[in-house]
Amino acid sequence: MELRRLGRTDIRVSAVALGVMTFGSKTPEEDAFRQLDMAFAAGINLFDTAENYPAPVLAQTQGRSEEILGRWIASRGVRSRVLVATKVAGPGNAAGDMTHIRGVDRRLDRANIIAAVDGSLRRLGTDYIDLYQVHWPERPITTLRRSHFSHIPDAPTLVPVEETLSALGEVVAAGKVRNIGVANETSWGVMHYLALAHERGLPRIVTIQNSYSLLDRQFEAGLAEIAMREQVGLLAYSPLARGLLTGKYLDANQSVPGRDRFSQRRLSATAAYVDLANRHGLQPAIMALAFARQKPFMTSVLMAASDVAQLEGNLRSLDVSLAKELLKEIDALHEQSPNPR
């Protein structure tokens, strides 16, 4: 397994990580343990979760993903050999109704961050978190999930990034967190975190966790340069575009659950990538995962599998390196249909 530098630290992380957002819901604990064993045996040392997981977000299951990961680490005695990444939930209900997590006043302020860190430490059964991430920004400006820019004025009660970063600095100083990162952020957000860290002597973010795949290369417009020049590497989630890039949703004659959530533009672009993979003798999912892994701004590609068989198939991408000619063909398809929605 290739190991890559985590930000500007001396920590080395596997080029592929395991996301455990289904553990405790779609993935029962016994199967989760098998996935974790398989990933660890393959050389994966980074395991990513969040305080609000598993998905779908429900009050009765909240925190189970962290608990399962923590029980696996303890049972295998591997705490010093793995890197645990988790996240603090921001305000609002971006991932469903989350009022069960610190109520309606859940913010990215000092009190919430300290409570969230302590809760995650307890569920994980550990004394420290290797990478603690802000799951999404507090401010209501985002272009991440839209095809155009939209602006909503800041609320008077908006918690400034400086307060969030100061609170993160406090948990780092206390030894509860080793490194910090952000997720679902914009170019302005990342640079603002970095500027504040420099100006105020606060911890520097080491990663950004955003969506990235053959169908979603928005990260390349601004954030990729920041990632490389500032050593704030990408942890890419949804590299298979919610399963679309496996090709399983393409047969219009089959009633596949979830197919209707994808637009015709996305389905058409996916069909082109699937055809390209087939012509090169590759499984579409393996081509998609290898493509993401080979990007120079990539720290680690997050794989998430609902079962062992799916993870086993995804791990085969570790042995694949895409040739320059194939990468050129991929770029040509991207030019024809960039970031289809």
| Bridge partner residues of 282 (DSSP) | none
- Tell the burial category of 291 from Cβ atoms under 10 Å away from its Cβ (0-12, 13-18, 19+): buried
Neighbour count for residue 18 (Cβ, 10 Å)? 28
Among all residues, which ones are annotated catalytic? 53
Q: How far is Cα of residue 33 from the mean position of the Cα atoms in its chain? A: 20
- Tell the burial category of 153 from Cβ atoms under 10 Å away from its Cβ (0-12, 13-18, 19+): exposed
Q: Which two tokens stand for residue 324?
A: 């320059």
Name the nearest CA neighbour of 64 among 24, 110, 16, 5. 24
**CA 55 – CA 242 distance, rounded (Å):** 13
Residues 298 and 236: beta-carbon distance below 8 Å: yes
What is the Rg, in whole angstroms, of the alpha carbon atoms belonging to the chain?
A: 19
- The owner of tokens 């063909």 is 329
E strand or H helix at 179, and its extent?
A: strand 177-183
- The owner of tokens 């490194």 is 179
Residues 176 and 119: beta-carbon distance below 8 Å: no
Residue type, 161: V
Neighbour count for residue 192 (Cβ, 10 Å)? 18
**CA 328 – CA 238 distance, rounded (Å):** 22
- Tell the burial category of 259 from Cβ atoms under 10 Å away from its Cβ (0-12, 13-18, 19+): middle
